[in-house]
Structure 1
Amino acid sequence: MSAILKVRQMYVTTGSTVQGDDTSRGTLLKDIWEVCTFRPFADLVGLGMLLVFASDLQQWSAALAIQYAFGLEDQLQNLFLVLLAASVLTVPVAALLLNRFEKKLVLAGFALLVMGVSVGMMYVPARRLDVFFVMVCLLGIGIAGPTYIPWTMLTDVADDFKIRKGKRRDMLFQTLFQSLNITAILLASVTSIVALEIGGYRSGSCIQPDSVAFTTRLLISFIPAGATLLSLVFLWRYQLTGERLAANKAVLEERRTQQSADSGNTDKAAPEPSLSMKSHDLPDTRHVRGPVQLTYFGPYGSFRFKRPKSSSPYKMEI
């Protein structure tokens, strides 16, 4: 209750002059700077970029690792299908977990699972389909959480920004977060290309040196695990805990209820026209005119009907 009262008091002091959604418009650079320096968003960006980097780096390097490091090139399509199916089927489970537990706790659990599986990938023996199959299933389950949960946390950041700043910048949050995620994907692809180049990968050759097998194992094991471990630092710094989210939700519900009551009072205050009203009480409609013209386009020409300013009948022009 103390957190809810604190957030309400802060909302009254910072947003008392803001009615409804914010309509003020500053410069774009100023808005971007204000959004990027908002601490919950900055922590979420660092968290999301590192998780996206780790996930996409594994996906970029998985095909080469399966072929040259594990010797399972004949099972490449089946293994990718298992990875995709495990990831898709885990999303509803992640949604159920978010309804019962805090988002930070659920995301930390998925991140720890990804770290453990990624490190284990380094030591999977070659041509052991049974072991690698289990590891791929666990990796698909772990990837689902970091892919899905940060987007649900973005709405919480936007609501917290509205309460603290008295402004609504949802589209800017979405655009910046999406753009930075794309940047993380590009960094993952560049990292994969540079690492393979250093490892001696020869494009177009069916036989690769042993250094390529070791490099691909690193790209799907220790490097993603290190990025995921670093993302936990930003997750620990993330300030929107369950108590603060509950306080924000209570404040927003209270404001929504107040706005509904205010709109209801406004509607009741408007008098309804009745027979007892005098002519001067009714709205003046003498200057309200109908449509100026109506044009018809047909196969034999066009016909335009104009309403004259005088009271004479309508005339037709061809």
Structure 2
Amino acid sequence: MPWIIFSTPLAIIAYFLIWFVPDFPRGQALWYLLFYCLFETLVTCFHVPYSALTMFISTEQSERDSATAYRMTVEVLGTVLGTAIQGQIVGQADTPCLQDPSDSALAMEGANHTQSTTSLKETQNAYLLAAGVIASIYVICAVILTLGVREQREPYETQQAEPMSFFRGLRLVMSHGPYVKLIAGFLFTSLAFMLVEGNFALFCTYTLGFRNEFQNLLLAIMLSATFTIPIWQWFLTRFGKKTAVYVGISSAVPFLILVAFMESNLIVTYVVAVAAGISVAAAFLLPWSMLPDVIDDFHLKQPQSHGTEPIFFSFYVFFTKFASGVSLGISTLSLDFAGYQTRGCSQPARVKFTLKLLVTIAPIVLILLGLLLFKLYPIDEEKRRQNKKALQALREEASSSGCSDTDSTELASIL
């Protein structure tokens, strides 16, 4: 909780300053780089303990799974809310595209002369207003989390000595086979969906020709994901988590293939967007719901370990950030080589083809690789049941041992 409490106000300040335009034009790039990196660092300081709380709010697997489903539903809903707020506020002061992308320098000069100072100021104020609204929601959610959640410790952990060192814990965690296989599969599937997410707006604008519809299409995807997370939660409790991973994440492949070969059709695109949201829900929920099972398995194999949960979650978050960075790098380099023109009203055919590859073919390959790695993941439903029984026996033993120690202490005080 201290990490969440102290990182929140600093993250709010950094986020607001990202959208503030300083008066010194030569140092603006450094300004944005500094505060963006600072914001990402502070958000990580919030996200890691926030995610790790899953292991400390209950000792029951079913309750942890329910908490994970609830957490991911709210996260997707928060993404929907943020997209809607940013899109509606900033969309009122959107900067027009450049009509002549083949001569971007002249076009930019013309745009700078035609756009009034008042219009530019309105755009800057719109971004600041959206940042202020989102920052307010951030604070409210952090307060609710801090005041409404109480941590619980495992009974057998309370008798342990102080937590092991970070480097020893890291060595044990990264040598745990199920965790390595899980994060490898998680990395590839996350990279696949981040490629789609990062290039979706450009794909809708230039390849499909729906410049004014991409915000609504993105909203359709995220709303579909929000409503289907509870369905996937029911599915994984009924058929198992590995089966849910195969069915949920692989269901995106047919729709990505359809997008690759279909003509520009708005109705079909909306249908594909809603269907894609179903797979996005699975990609959000299922890998995170499998992580507590890995930690339980680790505790059984390393019963003397204590305080390693943050290491598990921190590297899960690290690989999420890593996938985001790789996705951004691949997209930027690919579009640059293809000749992408910033703010152009149209793009060369090579750019449209590159966007289609980034949104369809590349994610399909990454999804298939991720599913292959998930196939090697050893914790199935039978293994989960065995681990649950073993942990329950360990808790009962620790509880009875604690009672015996208490009785002995009381007897000694009487004597």
Determine if the TM-score, normalized by the shorter chain, exceeds 0.5. Answer: yes
Distance 1:24 1:77 in 2: 50
| 1:132 positional shift | 0.8
Equivalenced residue count is 257
Secondary structure of the 1:221 match is: helix
Q: Which residue of 2 aligns with 1:35?
A: 173
Q: Is 1:219 aligned to 2:358, yes or no? A: yes
Structure-2 change in CA distance of 1:237 and 1:282 (3 Å): closer
Secondary structure of the 2:212 match is: helix
1:20 corresponds, among 123, 136, 156, to 156
| 1:265 positional shift | 3.2
1:80 corresponds, among 218, 234, 237, to 218
Q: Which residue of 2 aligns with 1:171?
A: 310
2:236 and 2:243 in contact (8 A); partners too:
no
Q: Is 1:190 aligned to 2:329, yes or no? A: yes
2:156 and 2:399 in contact (8 A); partners too:
no
TM-score by length of 1: 0.76
Could you list the structure 1 runs, at least 4 aligned residues long, displaced by more than 6 angstroms after superposition: none
Matched residue type, 1:164: K
CA deviation map 1:56-111 (0-9, x unaligned): 11011000110111111121221111011001111111111121111000011012
TM-score by length of 2: 0.59
CA deviation map 1:163-209 (0-9, x unaligned): 11222421110111111111011111111111111221111322211
Matched residue type, 1:86: S
Secondary structure of the 1:220 match is: helix
Secondary structure of the 2:213 match is: helix
Q: Which residue of 1 aligns with 2:28?
A: none
2:260 and 2:356 in contact (8 A); partners too:
yes
Matches within 5 A, 1:161-310: 161-166=298-303, 167-168=305-306, 169-271=308-410
Distance 1:199 1:90 in 2: 37
Distance 2:215 2:367 in 1: 26
Matches within 5 A, 1:48-197: 48-126=186-264, 128-166=265-303, 167-168=305-306, 169-197=308-336
Q: Percent identity?
A: 23
| 1:25 positional shift | 5.6
Gapped runs of 5+ residues in structure 2?
1-154
The CA RMSD over aligned residues, in Å, is 2.0
2:156 and 2:394 in contact (8 A); partners too:
no
Secondary structure of the 2:209 match is: coil
Structure-2 change in CA distance of 1:203 and 1:119 (3 Å): same
Matched residue type, 1:228: I
Distance 1:269 1:29 in 2: 37
Distance 1:165 1:271 in 2: 32
Distance 2:410 2:214 in 1: 73
Hey, which of these two has a bigger chunk of helix by percent?
Answer: 2
| 1:271 positional shift | 4.1
CA deviation map 1:273-314 (0-9, x unaligned): 9xxxxxxx769xxxxxxxxxxxxxxxxxxxxxxxxxxxxxxx
Distance 2:323 2:161 in 1: 32
Q: Which residue of 2 aligns with 1:299?
A: none
CA deviation map 1:109-139 (0-9, x unaligned): 012101222222101211x111111111111
2:156 and 2:395 in contact (8 A); partners too:
no
Matched residue type, 1:157: V
Q: Which residue of 2 aligns with 1:290?
A: none
Hey, which of these two has a bigger chunk of strand by percent?
Answer: 1
Matched residue type, 1:20: Y
Gapped runs of 5+ residues in structure 1?
1-18, 274-280, 284-318
Matched residue type, 1:190: G
